[in-house]
Copies of this chain bind each other. A is one copy, B any other.
């Protein structure tokens, strides 16, 4: 429920409504996947159901009705818990790239070479974007760059292992 936690994080400051939360998300987590409206309201309802947020007020001042949500005491506790918890460090791999290689087996080498080039191209793009981005965007770009690099390194080791296997 990462999205829920992020929204709780935004609600700490003050009560907000769905539309505002979507905007804030896309701004503060620029570089992350933009949050769909449908997702926002669905998540807010779950938060309310679980007692982590509650409807503070419904405004109707010249414009569509707005439902303000506020974080509850339970919500603050949960947010605090989430912020201090460490990520489980991925007990297993969930990556399409890995899945493809596992399925393709030794026929994967041609594809891996293409993938390497695509990654390199994307890395050049991201590096260019970093020059003109906000601090949040730079942080996101750094994250992406490091993980693309990790893919590249893994591709090299995978290719090396295939070659070994061929020789044997």
Partner of A102, one of B32, B89, B153: B32
A5 to B101, CA, bound (A): 12
Residues on the B chain within 8 Å of A104, using CB: 9, 83
- Residues facing B in A117-137 (CB within 8 A) are 118-119, 121-122, 135-136
A138 to B94, CA, bound (A): 15
The contact size tier of chain A is 35 or more
**Interface on chain A toward B: helix, strand, loop, or mixed SS?**
helix
A114 to B87, CA, bound (A): 10
A72 to B119, CA, bound (A): 32
Q: Is the CB of B147 within 8 A of A99?
A: no
Q: Is A23 located at the chain interface by the 8 A CB criterion?
A: no
Would you give 15 A-B contacts (Cβ < 8 Å), ordered by A? A10-B103, A28-B103, A33-B93, A33-B94, A83-B104, A83-B111, A90-B122, A95-B143, A97-B143, A98-B140, A101-B139, A102-B136, A135-B165, A149-B150, A150-B150
